[in-house]
Amino acid sequence: MVATVTLTIDGIQVTVPKGTTVLEAAESVGIFIPTFCHDPELSKPGACRICVVEIPGARNLPASCVTEATEGMVVYTASDAVIEARKTNLELLLANHPDDCLTCHKNGECRLQEYAYYYGVRADAFPGEKHQYPIEDDNPFIVRDMNKCILCGKCVRMCQEIQGNNVIDFAYRGFNAIVTPAMNTTYSDTDISNCVFCGNCVSVCPVGALSEKAMLGMGRRWEMKKVTTTCPYCGVGCSFDLNVKDGKVVGVTSTDGDVNGRALCVKGRFGYGFIHHPDRLKTPLIKKDGKLVEATWDEAIALVAEKMGAVKEQYGGETIGLISSARCTNEENYLMNKLGRVVLGTNSIDHCARL
């Protein structure tokens, strides 16, 4: 039996296991609380304070993501004081945030934007000093625009606590605070940075500070159709979402996979470009006079059936070999095994698992 506590959030009675945070308790009954620095899979710094709530009797407005729900607690998630605090928080963030939603890659899936809209905070409410960091795009995978960074630290913790590469950390203080690899180098300086371009930091960035380079300009977030599938590379079998626009795969983003959570590696996340590569085979080919020439499906299949049939007839089915594929699906390997044993009459079927 797990011990439980019962509290009241916005007038609703909620019973949760002891140790639950106020944020989790609120979410469990569908009450919305904004968060920037909180992530259920990462450690909780309680740093951004956008998630504050009002708890009568508490000093100040506590951050709900690091406040434990206790018996009899009374919580208001949207009192005037709470909304005022969140607005001020957003105004301060926007004060040194570039006005770039117009073409920003994150537009439509950005928490800063979402909350600004929700709380009606306009960008120009609090004009402040803007950063002038150069955009880091000297590698083919990830673009870092630290002008848009809200210093939530999720990328830092993702790289430390999930990926385990410790590439980035906070440096400097105050207005100059920045998230950076050691010695202020770039990701691409891998000898120093230790970055492996898994892009797992990108998957947690709540704003447009980290983006997938090849997805820039390929379509807005709301135009993308997401199709969850399984990585075609190694045997780990990570899940991810193919992002599709106008019938083309234009990117890969994290989903919550059974094996991998949101984590992926460089191949899975950034290795999709072959799908639309011009070298893709687009028609059947038949060798004529030593050269492969284009043919129709009917011609090609008829020729395969005829030749295979002839070999089977003349030498017997066991003289036909089938090399199936560890990269094709179960369904396809199954049918290969069926085709070989039933139609061609051979057990010489194998795949390159051993290689």
Identify what 51 binds: ligand SF4, another protein, ligand FES, none; CB under 5 to 8 Å per kind: ligand FES
230: left (phi over 0), alpha (psi -120 to 50) or beta: beta
Interactions with another protein, residue window 203-242 (CB under 8 A): 213-214, 217, 220-222, 225, 227-239, 242
Nearest to 90 by CA among 113, 65, 66, 62: 113
# of chain residues touching ligand FES (CB under 6 A): 12
* Cβ-Cβ contacts under 8 Å for 17 (sequence gap 6 or more): 2, 3, 4, 5
Query: Interface with another protein includes 308 (CB under 8 A)?
Result: yes
Task: Return the number of other C-beta atoms located less than 10 Å from residue 194's C-beta.
Answer: 15
Sign for the pseudo-dihedral over CA of 260, 261, 263, 267: positive
- Closer Cβ to ligand SF4, 2 or 102, answer by number: 102
77 within 8 A of 10, measured Cβ to Cβ: yes
Binding mask 55-94 vs another protein (x if CB under 8 A, - otherwise)? ---------------------------------------x
Identify what 210 binds: another protein, ligand FES, ligand SF4, none; CB under 5 to 8 Å per kind: ligand SF4
Identify what 322 binds: ligand SF4, ligand FES, another protein, none; CB under 5 to 8 Å per kind: another protein
Interactions with ligand FES, residue window 31-90 (CB under 6 A): 35-38, 46-51, 63, 65
In eight-state DSSP terms, residue 349 is E
CA angle 149, 155, 158 (to 5 degrees): 165
- Closer Cβ to ligand FES, 97 or 269, answer by number: 97
- Closer Cβ to ligand SF4, 69 or 110, answer by number: 110
Query: Interface with ligand FES includes 260 (CB under 6 A)?
Result: no
Q: Which residues bind ligand SF4 (CB under 6 A)?
A: 97, 100-102, 104, 106-107, 110, 112-113, 148-155, 158-159, 163, 165, 167-168, 179, 187, 195-201, 204-210, 231, 233-234, 236-238, 260, 264-265, 267-268
Please provide the DSSP assignment of 210-252 as one string. EEEGGGTTS--GGG-EEEEEE-SSSTT--EEEEEEETTEEEEE
- Closer Cβ to ligand FES, 48 or 250, answer by number: 48
- Closer Cβ to another protein, 4 or 120, answer by number: 120
Q: How far apart are CA 287 and CA 299, in angstroms?
A: 12
26 within 8 A of 64, measured Cβ to Cβ: yes
- Closer Cβ to another protein, 15 or 126, answer by number: 126
Q: Least distance (Å) from ligand FES to the CB of residue 142?
A: 24
**CA quadruple 315, 355, 326, 305: dihedral, nearest 10:** -20
Query: Interface with another protein includes 247 (CB under 8 A)?
Result: yes
Interactions with another protein, residue window 249-268 (CB under 8 A): 249, 258-260, 263-268
Q: Least distance (Å) from ligand SF4 to the CB of residue 259?
A: 8
Q: Least distance (Å) from another protein to the CB of residue 164?
A: 3
# of chain residues touching another protein (CB under 8 A): 132
- Closer Cβ to another protein, 22 or 242, answer by number: 242
Sheet containing strand 225-230, strands side by side: 225-230, 239-245, 248-254
Tokens 């999709």, located at residue: 272
Q: How far apart are CA 69 and CA 5, in angstroms?
A: 7
